[in-house]
Amino acid sequence: MPASLPGSRENRLERLRPTWRERGEKLERLLRAARVVLPGTLSVQAVVLIVSWNETIIRIVLTECLAIEVYGLLYVFYWLLPRQREVFRIPFDEYVAKMRIVRRGPFITPRGVVSAAFAIAGMVFLGLGSIFSFVLPFGGADPRTGIRFIGVSLWCGALGNLFGFPSFRKVDTAVLGHAFTGRLLLTASVAAIGGTILILLPS
């Protein structure tokens, strides 16, 4: 069975060949549009937050939403998708050849396991925070109950990124020829700052 894994992996990669260039072009267009749409969307929410600052429930909900969105959008549109764009810029055959070098899963390490554990914990805390902040208030519950859950979830995301940093750097160096992890470090810093703000907000 183990001997068949490399072949299976290459078969999965080979299925990407017909759409390799098209995927890269679509991703390029998406990132170009995101540079315009996302800052505008966040700016509108920030203005609404400032205008509605004296409305406790609106202030809490918008603060939580902005903290989640800033981290999530940075992670996806500042690090994850631009990194994938760099992958699609590599000719397909060259990419396959480089992936043969990365035989052993670089994330199957103690640090990788801890990173995955923090990522799972972050999703659990985010789910709990969302329930307490966005669902239960319809039944009269205080939305402030969930704000610290979301703060902890952001910290879990930051720690997950930091523990995964060496593995991502190893893969980036092998495949892209340079580390693309500076953006990941910035994203983790934003998550930590946002999580700290939510945890320390007065009740």
At 78-96, the pLDDT tens digits run: 999 999 999 999 998 888 8
Q: What's residue 99's pLDDT?
A: 78
Q: Torsions phi, psi of 142, nearest 5? A: -80, 120
Q: Torsions phi, psi of 193, nearest 5? A: -65, -45
Question: Is the pLDDT reported for residue 71 higher than 90?
Answer: yes
More confident residue, 146 or 202: 146
Question: Is the pLDDT reported for residue 117 higher than 60?
Answer: yes
Q: What is the mean pLDDT of residues 118-139?
A: 88
More confident residue, 103 or 132: 132
153 in Cβ contact with 165 (< 8 Å): no
Q: What's residue 1's pLDDT?
A: 31
Quick: pLDDT tens for 14-69: 788 888 888 899 999 999 998 888 888 888 888 888 888 888 778 888 888 899 99
Question: Is the pLDDT reported for residue 203 higher than 70?
Answer: no
pTM of the predicted protein model = 0.83
In angstroms, the first-to-last Cα distance of the chain is: 56
- Other CB atoms within a 10 A radius of the CB of residue 198 amount to 24
Q: What's residue 4's pLDDT?
A: 38
